[in-house]
């Protein structure tokens, strides 16, 4: 059984995951309108992934005797200035999500809720991977600079981007 404090914190995380999905959906649309098909495809995938993260929290809360709730979401930005600014926003957002997951882990330990602590370990590992991926993308964008040819190649290459994390299963 989840404590009230743990249930509230997990429901707060549901909102964060849902907002993450919306942020990446806005980035996908912005990229698509700019003719960046590869980046748009990548962002649509990220949006779907964040929605799946949200659903995992939903099911977990309900399975533990709590009540997962749908909350109002903040509207994401729909303009990003440049590709670099967009991916900087993505990276900062992933760092924010990591901090939020870490706070959930902290609460689970304070509450001596070891089932939730165990459940959250997947998210801890996932966030290491998400941050590493965002860092890798920013490094590539910084290498490209203002080179339009480089951006064209990057837009195509991002379709195959995979980052192997040090904590990924099988690593």
Q: Is 111 annotated as a binding residue?
A: no
Q: Cα separation of 74 and 115, whole Å?
A: 30
- Residue 166 has φ and ψ, to the nearest 5°, of -70, -15
Residue 22: both structure tokens together: 């919306």
Q: Is 129 annotated as a binding residue?
A: no
Which string of DSSP letters, residue by residue, matches 92-160? HHHHHHHHHHHHHHHHHHHTT-HHHHHHHHHHHHHHHHHHHHHHHHHHHHHHHTT-HHHHHHHHHHGGG
- Residue 143 has φ and ψ, to the nearest 5°, of -65, -40
| Residues sharing a CB contact under 8 Å with residue 62, sequence separation 6 or more, in sequence order | 68
Q: Is 131 annotated as a binding residue?
A: no
Nearest to 121 by CA among 60, 75, 73: 60
Q: Is 103 annotated as a binding residue?
A: no
- Known binding positions: 17, 50, 53, 94, 127
- Known binding positions for Fe cation: 17, 50, 53, 94, 127
């Amino acid at each position: 059984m989840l404590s009230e404090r743990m249930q509230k914190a997990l429901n707060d995380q549901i909102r964060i995951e849902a907002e993450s999905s919306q942020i990446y959906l806005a980035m996908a649309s912005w990229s698509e309108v700019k003719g960046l098909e590869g980046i748009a495809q990548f962002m649509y995938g990220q949006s779907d992934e964040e929605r799946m993260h949200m659903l995992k929290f939903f099911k977990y809360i309900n399975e533990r005797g709590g009540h997962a709730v749908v909350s109002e979401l903040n509207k994401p930005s729909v303009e990003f200035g440049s590709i670099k600014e967009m991916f900087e926003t993505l990276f900062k957002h992933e760092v924010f999500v990591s901090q939020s997951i870490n706070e959930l882990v902290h609460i689970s330990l304070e509450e001596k809720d070891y089932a939730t602590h165990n459940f959250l370990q997947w998210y801890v590992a996932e966030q290491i991977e998400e941050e590493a991926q965002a860092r890798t993308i920013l490094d590539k964008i910084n290498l490209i600079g203002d080179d339009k040819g480089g951006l064209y190649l990057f837009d195509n290459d991002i379709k195959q981007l995979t980052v192997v994390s040090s904590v990924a299963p099988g690593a």
